[in-house]
Structures are given as C-alpha cells and as structure tokens.
C-alpha cells in the first residue's frame, strides 16, 4: 500500500527510482511519480496508472537529470487516482517535494489553517498539507522544519523529502508506516521494503517512530525528535536477489506456491532438534504458560484465517480456551484481555496498521504478546515480547500463499510447545506429533507435482459466477482461506460455509451447475460431510472434493476429486490449502486477471 523509494548517490537517480518502484508494485498502487533534484530545482513527473505509463513518459528516466530523488507508487485513500493526486506533492513555489505513505488524520484542520495563511492546494490528498507545512516552518534549516511538521501532523506517515534549497541532501522520517534506510557504497536509499533496494545493497537500518534521517553527500545521520543523534546497528539481509524475482515463472504467485515445501522446511526444521521443540526466540516461561487463562489470536485477511486453524489446534493440544479476532475489531471492542492471557499476533508484513494497533492495545492491557511475523525487523516484530519468525522469504504476490503456510506451521509449533509445557501433551504424543509434522514438506511437494489436473479443471470452471466452499472442523478453517484466495484474485464471488450451517440459509443459493468445493479430510467428520455433499448434489450442484488418499467412497458423490497424501487430521490444513491455491491461481489465469496485483488490493495494508 503506497511504495516509497529514495536515492542519493552519484548515478542518475530517475532510472534507479523507477526500478525500485517496480519492485514495490506488489504492494498495490494506482498511480506513480518521481521528483529529482537537478540544476538546483526539483523536476517532478507523475501520472495515474501503472508504472509503465510513467516509464514511457520519461523514457525510462533518461529525461530527468539529477542524482538525488524520491519516487512513489500511490494507493488512493484521499482523492481518486489522478495525475494531480499522485505523489510527489510540492510546496507552493516548488521548493519542497514530499512522498508519503500513511494517512494524516487531522489534514482538514491543517489545510484550513494553511489556506488562511495563503497556501493554495491543488490536490484532494491529505499529503499535500505536509509539503506546505514544511515550507511554512522552513527558515533555512530543514531538520527544524521537519520536526515542527511532525509535531503538527497526526496519523501515520513514512516520508521522503527533498528541497531545492538543499541540493545535496535527502530527508526521511516515519511513524507507524514502514520505511527502511539502505546503506550502499557511496550511495544510500530509503524504501518501504527491502526488495526495492536489494539489487544495490543488503545493509539496512530499521527506523523507530519519529526518527529523522538526514542524508548529505554519502553520510547518513539519524536524529530523534529532539535532534539527538541515534546510533544504530546495520542489519544485513541475507536472502539473495533472485528471491525477489520471478525466476522463470509467469507470476510470483505460482512461484511462491511452488516454494512452499522449502519455506515450511526452513520454518520448522531448525526448531525441531533431537526430537525436541526448540523455540529459542520465545522467552515465555513454563510458569507463565501454566498460568495462562486464555489465548487470543489476532490478524487480518489470511493471517486471521491461520488464526482460525490455530484456535482448533491450540485448544485441542493445550485445552486452553482460544479466541480468534480480526485485528480491526479487537482494537475497538474493549476486549477482556489481561495479564493472564497470551496474545498471538500473526502478520506476514509486520506492518498491517490494524494488527499493530491491536497488538499495542493488548500490551496496554497487560497481556504478553507473541508475534508470528515474516518480515524481520518490522514494527510488529519490534513491538512484541516474543517473535517467532516464519522463514518464507520475500512474498511478492498480493495474495499470500507461502506466508500463510508457514504461519500455520508456526502455530503448530507454538501449540505443541504450549501443550508440552502445560502438561497436556505426553512424551509419546509429542514424538508422534513432531514425527508427523516433519512429513509435511514432502507431502506438500507431492501435491505440487500434480498441478495439471487442477489446471485443466480450472479451464472448465473459470466462468463460474458463484462458488461455495464447504468443510467441517479444520476443513472449515481452510475453506475460509480457499474462498478468499479464489475471490481476491479471480473476482469470482465465493463463500465459505461450515457444512453444518448449509441448511440454515446457504442451500437456497445452490442451483443447477453451481460449483461447490467440499473439503473432506477430517476422519471423524467424513460421513457428515458426505451427507452434505449429497444434499447439494440433490439440488444440482457440481462438486469438487478434496479427500485423503484411500477415501474413494467420495467418488460416488463428487464430480471431481483431488486426493491428498494421508496425514493425521490435525495437520490436514497444511495440505488441503495447496490444491485450493493452485485452483484459484488457474481460475484467475484463465480469466486473464492480473494475478499478482489484483484490483483494489494492497499487500501491506498500512492504513486502517
Ligand atoms: C492484505 C494481504 C493479505 C494478508 C493481509 C494481512 O490484505 O493481501 O494477503 O493476509 O493483508 O497482512 P499481514 O501482512 O498482516 O499478514
């Protein structure tokens, strides 16, 4: 959601900014722009539409001269996507240019007061108040002007700023929106995320709220809001450039689907040593675990769906009651969370605004927070008491696949760890659970070797208008994710239902030919779901079922069946989701959708 790149060095900035922005396309955007300092003035070009429109407009950047600049991809919040509303935004007179990710909540009040002082606004954005405010406070010292500005603005922001009065400098600041500093060789960067700069440097600084970065020549100074210099350690990113490239696949999504066995292995294997779970990263004590009254799991989107799986699994293995909450609801519902509770926060990006706010709410109320995060050093990771990183590597496709799968593995690890520590898992059960869990990567690989039947089934079904996903128990939890995956990338309406709920309304929507995807992997519930399949078949539905190998009885009812390798019921979600991801992918491809960047969606949702 909005991407920022900034460059200061010796090369021409514009092509570097464009290529950085390209790497942030996954975040979701509807317009783009850059501003470059050259000949002591700011040259700005911005446009509605995809980056290639901007690219063509400035001939790949060759039209714009200068070696310091800022770039932006905008995901509209205040004001429709348009050339004018695109970033950067300039102060009147063109002295200052700003790119912004986040939302300025008090912008209307600030706008009115700036208008009274004679400032003219040209856009509908909240961001424009920032360039005018900096200009208003500027009296020769940019740092002072930025500090005064951040004292006036409320909300969230990551800002890249240049000024024609400071032709060798670049400025940045952030609060509650992501921004990193890339430290290169004779050149430095700012960016919303690592893929934007990884081809030029792997050394980064993570910034705390309201730290101001002042780049001058090839020096970097980081200051707090009282202008004290802050010393930081460099974080070295060890994944290689190809991890953020498509590597021969048509889309990031299919590449990331295929990467799942490795991502799962990387997340799980280092944490099982000599038959024991070793969670070095988690400091919560056995005494604390024994006293836990309740567990809350919080996330948004697919991360929330992982939480639903987590509830079933943790309750089963620990007998501790678990509540799963959407972060956007938890933060405002005056939750009963307190010091005897553990809050598990799940987030791929570690920057989702609602999830971060929910985390802070839980901490304020005394709960211990354990987060499951993919992006190292992200805000959620830094604000948590404990972090269990998922080692999925960079996930570029907006629709998550490998992050979802690794988050699920992290929850299995947590559930088993808690169960061992509170005495609900015996030594023998632990051994069985860990042995079974370690079979998951090879079973996922096996499913991935046979995508062609799903591909050809999708080629027959992609014109479906509505699709219903049914499941019971853990199958229902995965149905939620399967349905989201399908609708978000293929724009086909779909809903997930607990199969037992069918008769309470949904069944009236089943007509001749309606596609129903029935998940039938739960041993104890197999007969029940078979009955539900019969019910929809009797009303004309076409049924695509997913079952475990050997359960061929399902073929009598279903029109198309995908079999999964046998696995204990508790671990089936790790396998069931895979054919659903593949099916959604091919449905979207057949429809000609922009699979990696579905319309209106953003990968990292940094606004409420
Ligand atoms: C967006 C993404 C989803 C993701 C959700 C939560 O909606 O498109 O794939 O599940 O945000 O993101 P997070 O980074 O917190 O996991």
Task: Residue 519: give its domain's CATH number.
Answer: 3.40.50.10490
Confidence of residue 47 (pLDDT cuts 50, 70, 90): very high
229 with 370, same domain? no
**Residues 194-202, mean pLDDT to the nearest whole number:** 92
Q: What is the pLDDT of residue 241?
A: 65
Mark which of 438, 469, 485 sits at the end of a domain. Answer: 438
Residue identifier of the C-alpha nearest atom 8 of ligand 1: 603
For 400-412, the pLDDT digits (tens) are 999 999 999 999 9
Q: Is the pLDDT of residue 341 over 80?
A: yes
Q: What is the pLDDT of residue 131?
A: 98
State in Å: Cα 347 to ligand 1 middle: 7
Q: Is the pLDDT of residue 540 over 70?
A: yes
Q: Please report the atom of ligand 1 found closest to the CA of residue 300.
A: 6
For 279-307, the pLDDT digits (tens) are 988 999 999 999 999 999 999 999 999 99
Q: Are 602 and 27 in contact (CB under 8 A)?
A: yes
Q: What is the pLDDT of residue 171?
A: 98
160 with 178, same domain? yes
- Residue to substitute in 300, 378, 410, 411 for testing ligand 1 pocket (most ligand atoms within 8 angstroms of CB): 300
For 483-528, the pLDDT digits (tens) are 999 999 999 999 999 999 988 988 889 999 999 999 999 999 999 9
Q: What is the pLDDT of residue 242?
A: 67
For 461-494, the pLDDT digits (tens) are 999 999 999 999 999 999 999 999 999 999 999 9
Q: What is the pLDDT of residue 292?
A: 95
220 with 263, same domain? no
- Residue to substitute in 303, 387, 406, 608 for testing ligand 1 pocket (most ligand atoms within 8 angstroms of CB): 303
How far apart, in whole angstroms, are the C-alpha atoms of residue 49 and residue 60? 16
For 174-186, the pLDDT digits (tens) are 998 889 999 999 9
Residue identifier of the C-alpha nearest atom 2 of ligand 1: 603
492 with 426, same domain? no
Residue identifier of the C-alpha nearest atom 1 of ligand 1: 603
Q: What is the pLDDT of residue 220?
A: 97
Helix (H, G, I), strand (E, B) or coil at 576: helix
211 with 354, same domain? no
Helix (H, G, I), strand (E, B) or coil at 365: coil
Active-site amino acid positions: 2, 603
Q: Is the pLDDT of residue 607 over 80?
A: no
Half-sphere exposure of 195 (CA within 13 A, CB side): 22
295 with 420, same domain? yes
- Name all residues whose Cβ lies below 6 A of ligand 1: 300-303, 347-349, 352, 355, 398-400, 601, 603-605
Residue identifier of the C-alpha nearest atom 7 of ligand 1: 301
**Structure token digits, residue 92:** 């009147």
- Whether 498 is covered by a domain: the verdict is yes
Mark which of 438, 469, 488 sits at the end of a domain. Answer: 438
State in Å: Cα 314 to ligand 1 middle: 22
Helix (H, G, I), strand (E, B) or coil at 41: strand
258 with 345, same domain? yes
User: To which H or E segment does residue 446 belong?
Assistant: helix 440-448
Q: What is the CATH number of the domain that holds 195?
A: 3.60.20.10
Lowest mean pLDDT across 243-257, 315-329, 486-500: 243-257
- Whether 605 is covered by a domain: the verdict is no
590 with 452, same domain? yes
Q: What is the pLDDT of residue 76?
A: 86
- Residue to substitute in 310, 352, 375, 407 for testing ligand 1 pocket (most ligand atoms within 8 angstroms of CB): 352
Count, residues in the chain = 608
DSSP symbols for 279-311: -TT----HHHHHH--EEEEEESHHHHHHHHHHH
% pLDDT > 70, the chain: 99
Q: What is the pLDDT of residue 57?
A: 94
Mark which of 220, 238, 256 sits at the end of a domain. Answer: 238
For 359-399, the pLDDT digits (tens) are 999 999 999 999 999 988 888 999 999 999 999 988 989 99
Q: What is the pLDDT of residue 605?
A: 80
130: alpha, beta or left? (left if phi > 0; alpha if psi -120 to 50) = alpha
84 with 108, same domain? yes
Q: What is the pLDDT of residue 408?
A: 98
401 with 527, same domain? no
Q: Is the pLDDT of residue 440 over 70?
A: yes
- Whether 256 is covered by a domain: the verdict is yes
Q: Is the pLDDT of residue 29 over 90?
A: no
- Whether 601 is covered by a domain: the verdict is no
Q: What is the pLDDT of residue 178?
A: 87
Q: What is the pLDDT of residue 240?
A: 65
Nearest to 17 by CA among 28, 27, 37, 30: 37
- Whether 443 is covered by a domain: the verdict is no
- Whether 603 is covered by a domain: the verdict is no
The verdict on pTM exceeding 0.85 is no
Domain range for 76 is 2-238
DSSP symbols for 218-235: TEEEEE-TTS-B---PPE
For 217-245, the pLDDT digits (tens) are 999 999 999 999 999 999 998 776 666 77
Helix (H, G, I), strand (E, B) or coil at 485: helix
State in Å: Cα 30 to ligand 1 middle: 18
For 115-138, the pLDDT digits (tens) are 999 999 999 999 999 999 999 999
Q: Is the pLDDT of residue 1 over 80?
A: no
251 with 223, same domain? no
Peptide bond before residue 88 is cis, with ω within 30 degrees of 0: yes
Nearest to 357 by CA among 375, 377, 380, 340: 380
Nearest to 28 by CA among 464, 606, 599: 599
Q: Is the pLDDT of residue 248 over 80?
A: no
Nearest to 568 by CA among 496, 474, 483, 481: 474
How far apart, in whole angstroms, are the C-alpha atoms of residue 603 and residue 349? 8
- Whether 61 is covered by a domain: the verdict is yes
Q: Indicate the number of domains in the chain.
A: 3
- Whether 258 is covered by a domain: the verdict is yes
DSSP 8-state symbol, 351: -
Q: Are 18 and 55 in contact (CB under 8 A)?
A: yes
Half-sphere exposure of 548 (CA within 13 A, CB side): 18
Q: What is the mean pLDDT of the chain?
A: 94
% pLDDT > 90, the chain: 86
432 with 347, same domain? yes
């Amino acid at each position: 959601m909005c991407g920022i790149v900034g460059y200061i060095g010796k090369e021409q900035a514009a092509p570097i900014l464009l290529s950085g922005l390209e790497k942030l396309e996954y975040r979701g955007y509807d317009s783009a722009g850059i501003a470059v300092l050259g000949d002591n003035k700011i040259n700005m070009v911005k446009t509605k539409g995809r980056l290639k429109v901007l690219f063509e407009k400035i001939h790949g950047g060759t039209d714009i001269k200068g070696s310091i600049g800022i770039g932006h991809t905008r995901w509209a919040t205040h004001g429709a996507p348009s050339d004018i509303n695109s970033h950067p935004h300039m102060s009147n007179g063109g002295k200052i240019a700003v790119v912004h990710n986040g939302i300025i909540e008090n912008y209307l009040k600030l706008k009115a007061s700036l208008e009274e002082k004679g400032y003219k606004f040209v856009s509908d954005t909240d961001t424009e108040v920032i360039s005018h405010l900096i200009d208003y406070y500027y009296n020769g010292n940019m740092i002072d002007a930025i500090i005064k500005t951040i004292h006036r603005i409320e909300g969230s922001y990551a800002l890249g700023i240049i000024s024609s009065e400071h032709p060798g400098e670049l400025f940045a600041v952030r609060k509650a929106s992501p921004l990193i500093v890339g430290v290169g060789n004779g050149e430095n960067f700012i960016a919303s995320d690592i893929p934007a700069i990884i081809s030029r440097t792997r050394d980064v600084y993570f910034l705390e709220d309201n730290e101001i970065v002042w780049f001058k020549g090839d020096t970097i100074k980081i200051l707090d809001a009282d202008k004290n210099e802050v010393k930081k350690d460099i974080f070295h990113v060890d994944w290689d450039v190809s991890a953020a490239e498509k590597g021969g696949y048509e889309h990031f999504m299919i590449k990331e689907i295929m990467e799942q066995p490795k991502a799962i292995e990387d997340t799980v294997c280092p944490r099982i040593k000599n038959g024991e779970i070793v969670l070095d990263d988690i400091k919560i004590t056995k005494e604390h675990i024994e006293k836990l009254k309740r567990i809350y799991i919080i996330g948004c989107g697919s991360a929330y769906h992982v939480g639903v799986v987590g509830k079933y699994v943790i309750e089963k293995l620990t007998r501790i009651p678990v509540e799963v909450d959407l972060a956007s609801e938890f933060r405002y519902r005056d939750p009963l969370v307190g010091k005897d509770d553990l809050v598990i926060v799940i987030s791929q990006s570690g920057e989702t605004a609602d999830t971060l706010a929910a985390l802070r709410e839980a901490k304020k109320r005394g709960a211990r927070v354990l987060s499951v995060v993919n992006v190292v050093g992200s805000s959620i990771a830094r604000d948590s008491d404990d972090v269990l990183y998922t080692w999925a590597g960079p996930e570029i496709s907006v629709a998550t696949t490998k992050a979802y799968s690794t988050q699920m593995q992290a929850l299995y690890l947590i559930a088993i760890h808690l169960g061992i520590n509170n005495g609900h898992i015996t030594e023998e059960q632990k051994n069985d659970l860990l042995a079974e869990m370690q079979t998951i990567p090879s079973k996922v690989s096996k499913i991935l070797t046979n995508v062609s039947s799903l591909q050809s089934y999708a080629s027959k079904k992609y014109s479906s208008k509505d699709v219903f996903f049914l499941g019971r128990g853990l199958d229902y939890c995965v149905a939620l994710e399967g349905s989201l995956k399908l609708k978000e990338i293929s724009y086909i309406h779909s809903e997930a239902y607990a199969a037992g709920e069918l008769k309470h309304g949904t069944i009236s929507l089943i007509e001749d030919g309606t596609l129903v995807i029935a998940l039938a992997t739960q041993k104890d519930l197999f007969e029940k779901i078979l009955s539900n399949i019969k019910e929809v078949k009797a009303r004309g539905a076409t049924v695509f079922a997913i079952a475990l190998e050997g359960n061929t009885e399902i073929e009598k009812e279903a029109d198309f069946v995908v079999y999964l390798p046998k696995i204990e019921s508790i671990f089936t979600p790790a396998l069931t989701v895979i054919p659903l991801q593949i099916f959604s992918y091919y449905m979207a491809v057949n429809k000609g959708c922009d699979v990696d960047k579905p319309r209106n969606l953003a990968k990292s949702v940094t606004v409420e």
